Structure formats: structure tokens, C-alpha cells
Amino acid sequence: MKQKFLRILLVPLALAGAGGVALRAQSRGAFVLRDAKIVRVSGPVIEHGTVVVRDGLIEAVGDNITPPADAWVIDCKGLTVYPGMIDSLSNWGLTNTPPAAAAAAGGRGGRGAATVAAPLVVSTPSNTIVSATPARGPEDRPSNAAYLKAADQIYPNDRAVETARNGGFTTAVTFPTGNIFSGQGSVIDLAGERAGDMVIADSVGQYIAFPGGGRGGGGRGYPGSLMGVIAYIRQIYLDSENYKLAKSIYEKHPEGLPRPAYDRTLEGVLASPRVLLPATRDVEIRRMLAFAKEMKFNAVIYGGHEAWRSTDVLKQAGVPVLLSLKYPERAADSDPTVDESVRVLELRDKAPTAAGALAKAGVKFAFYSDGVGTPRDLMRAVKKAVDAGLEPNAALRALTLTPAEIYGVANRLGSIDKGKIANLVVADGDLFADRTRVKYVFVDGGKYEPILEEPAVRPGGRGGRGQGGPAR
């Protein structure tokens, strides 16, 4: 009954297009989540407990807490509180996609409002460096935007932010893309009026990408091959070490010394506390681990679909893995007569087992969205990993505390503990069950309420571009 009432209430609101589907919470006062099942992740589950949120932080959590008198009490009987989920490698917040209301007519039928259809208009920041003349070597710094920082490029109104938040994601480690040295990732909360409010950590890692799947730099000069890309990265890191040393020598005694030239790409590299390296196949994982060891990188591997074959070396190296939730699939338009190797078939078949294998081996790993747009599809992918042998607890950890640990923000995020940032998800059941609905999401202590049902589908469907127009 109550839900029905909410539907009636919320649908017109959404159609009125008040800038977004979710309702912005009241001011950042105090909330008490009472009588909830609390999955803290950092400790045992509290079957009936209370979480107190105040001014953006978790003030208290436990089964014997007296609610403060000034708090808004939310009865969570039958509900479960989780830490907000983290997308460990994302571009959420960096795409300038209009808010959902602008595309309200874009329903795809029964997906639920929290996971509305693909964005109608997407403009990604154009970071890709295209040089006027082909690069002749590493000295030309081709495809190098190491200095870019995600925190400087955030669109708070990016619709991806809202979509993800409605599905229980409160945080993303979001990265600029488009270059071999794509730039520095930032940990951001998925809510905020201004970009600056969203940033939790501004520079947590340099995102390295291999253009053309490692086949080269797109035909415009050096590097044009996988080995060229690797050699280029090696030279840049050697240069950055030399640059650091040269600057310190020069700053101490500049007299009579040649002045080291300022280099923004090397500054960007030096500002990045870790290096994210792409590796999907076992061969690539071993290759990147060897490379990381040679370069003494504080490395993180991303991709990892075949990591079930590499658990021994990953464990030995102590390098964490970001696991893509976009499992490899045979392209829909691929030639059906092409004879695929057992290795390729096996890679597709076993990709969902990677998480379970890493957990079993004791390798630190976190999940990431890899372009899978909707939280519902992401949760389905996680569910696949669970069905393939991953403990549900480990799955949750890979979406909460582990990514926080990997990026060095576990003192602020990732679990329900006193003093941490109040990023919470309140759901009416197990987070990974298909029928579970997210009731409330807290980001930085602000309360958000995803719409439970999507508005009735209007004629026109995805094609109805003009209909919604910009947010009215």
C-alpha cells in the first residue's frame, strides 16, 4: 500500500522533471537507521542494529545505540544496510550526459527507473591527444595526458552519476581516458552540487591504456606497436625519475647548472601514487607483472578476465586486480564460420570464475564497471561471479572495502564504521538478488531515494529524442 502511494507520488514528480529522478534529501542533519540488518563488511553482520549518520559521517553503529533526539529516525525493519558500493575504475561523472528527466521517454521496458535506458546524448571530454605531426619518439610525448586529473573534469550533473547512485553505487574511482597516459584518477562521491564537493581523493593513480588493444598508436607516429607502447612507458618513467633528481639538484644549487625544462607529463606521472596497467589474458597479466617489477611500479592490474590462470604470480607479486564486469562475448556480428581457438572459447566461458579464483588464492581484487552502464547489469555480472564460485561476502567486499584499500582511502570509505563517510545503501533484501530494491542511498550523509518504478513508457521509445528536451 505504502509503495503504491509512493509510486503515485513520485511519478508525477519525475515527469515534472525537477532536475533528476531521485529526491534530494533534506539538509545534512542527523539520521538514524533503526532496527536494520547491518552488513558492515569490516566486521560481523549486525542482525538488528542502528546506524547513526550525522553531518555526512557515520556517528555510531551497533546493536545497542540510543538514537539521538535530534535525528530523523528511519524505521529499517526488514531492511539491510550496506556500505555504498564503489566502482573501482570508472568514467562516471566525466561524461556530460543530461540528467534522466531530459530523457524520461527513453524507457526500455521494465528495467526499472533506477536503471533507465542508455543515455540519449553523451559527450565525453575529448582528451585524446592528436598531434599535428606524427611523433618521432618518446621525446614528443605522444598520447600523454598524464597531467589531466579527473577531479578537474567532473560534471556533477552527469546522468551516469544519478543512475549509478540509484543502483547503490555511492562512489567511483573515475579516470580520464583516451591516451596511453590517460591521466590521474580521482575518488569521487556520486552526489554533489559542485564538482569540488564530490572529490574524496584527487589523484589516486595514473591510468595507462594500450591503444588499439595494444596494436599501436593509431597510425600517427610513435609508438605504433605494443612493444613501442611498452618501451615508451618505460622511457617516460625513467625520464620522470631523472626529472625529479635533476630538479632537486638544480633547486639546491642552480648556479652554473643547465635548467631542467618543465615537463607537465612528467609532473603528472610523478603526482600519481600508483600505476594502472591493462591485462586481460594470462599472458598479459604475467607480462605486466614482470614490467611492474622491473619498473618498481606501485601497480594495479585492470581487466583480469583470465586471472584465474594467473593467481600464483599475482599472489606472489602482491599486485591487486581490478576485475572487469564486462565479460568477453562473441561479437553479435562475428562471422559464424570462423573457427575459434579453445583458448578464446575458454576465456569467455571462464571469465566469471576469475573473481572466485582470486578470492581463493588471497589476491586482492575489486570489481569495475568497464562500460556496463546500469547497476542492474553490473549486479547481474557480479551474480555470475557468485554463481561461478565467489562467496557473496567476498563479492560485496570487492565492491566496497577492497577498492577503498587498493586506493588508500579505506580510512574513509568502504565499510560501516564510526567516523567513516556516511555512504550507505539501504535495500529490502540481499543486494545481489535480482528482486531486491534499493530503498535509500546515503552519499556524504545526504539521503537519496531512488524511484521504485519507472514512469509509464511513452510512445516513441528511444527514438523520441526531441520529446524530453533539456531538463525543463
Partner 1 sequence: MNRFGTSCFLLAASVCAASAQTAKDAPVLIQNATILTITNGTVKGSILLQNGKIAAVGEKVLAPPGAKVIDGAGKFVMPGIIDCHSHIMAEAINEGTVSVSSMVGIDDVLNPEDIAIYRALAGGVTTANILHGSANSIGGKTVVTKMRWGKDAEEMKFEGAMPGIKFALGENPKRAGASVGFGAAPANLRYPATRMGVEDVIREAFNDAKAYKVTLDEYKAKLAKGENAIPPRRDLKLEPLVEVLEGKRYVHAHCYRQDEILMLLHVADDYGFKVRTLQHVLEGYKVAKEIAAHGAGASTFADWWAYKMEAQDAIPYNAAIMVRKGVLTSLNSDDAELMRHLDKEAAKTVKYGGLSETEALSLITINPAKQLSIDKRVGSLEVGKDADVLLYDGHPLSNFSKVEKVWIDGHEYFDRDQDQEGRSKKQIEKKALIEKAAPAPGGRGGQASVTGGPNQ
Residues that bind partner 1 (CB under 8 A): 109-112, 114, 134-138, 214-217, 219-228, 230-232, 234-235, 238-239, 242, 245-246, 249-250, 253, 256-258, 260, 282-283, 286-287, 290-291, 330, 339, 341-346, 348-349, 376, 380, 434-435, 437, 453
Which CB atom, from 20 or from 216, has the smaller least distance to partner 1? 216
Cell triple for residue 337? 564460420
> At its nearest, how many Å lie between partner 1 and the CB of residue 255?
8
Strand partners, 30: 54
**Which lies closer to partner 1 via its Cβ, residue 176 or residue 217?**
217
Instruction: Please tell me what DSSP assigns to residue 71.
Output: S
Q: Cell numbers for 14, please give them.
A: 519525475
- Closest CB to partner 1 among residues 98, 216: 216
Q: Least CB distance from residue 112 to partner 1, whole Å?
A: 4
Whichever of 381 and 422 has its CB closer to partner 1, that residue is 381
d(CA 385, CA 305): 11
SS3 breakdown of the chain: % helix, strand, coil, rounded to 5?
A: 35, 20, 45
Q: Are 6 and 452 in contact (CB under 8 A)?
A: yes
Contact 178, 211 (CB under 8 A): no
Q: How far is the CB of 235 from partner 1 (least distance, A)?
A: 5
Q: Which is nearer to partner 1, 232 or 432 (CB)?
A: 232
Phi, psi of 468 (to 5 degrees): -75, -45
SS3 53: strand
- Cβ distance to partner 1 smaller for residue 175 or 210: 210
Nearest-10 crossing angle of helices 282-295, 226-252: 20
- Grid cell, residue 155, equals 560534471
| Alpha carbon distance 214, 257 (integer Å) | 40
Residue number with CB closer to partner 1 (189 or 449): 449
How far apart are the C-alpha atoms of 115 and 451, rounded to whole Å?
10
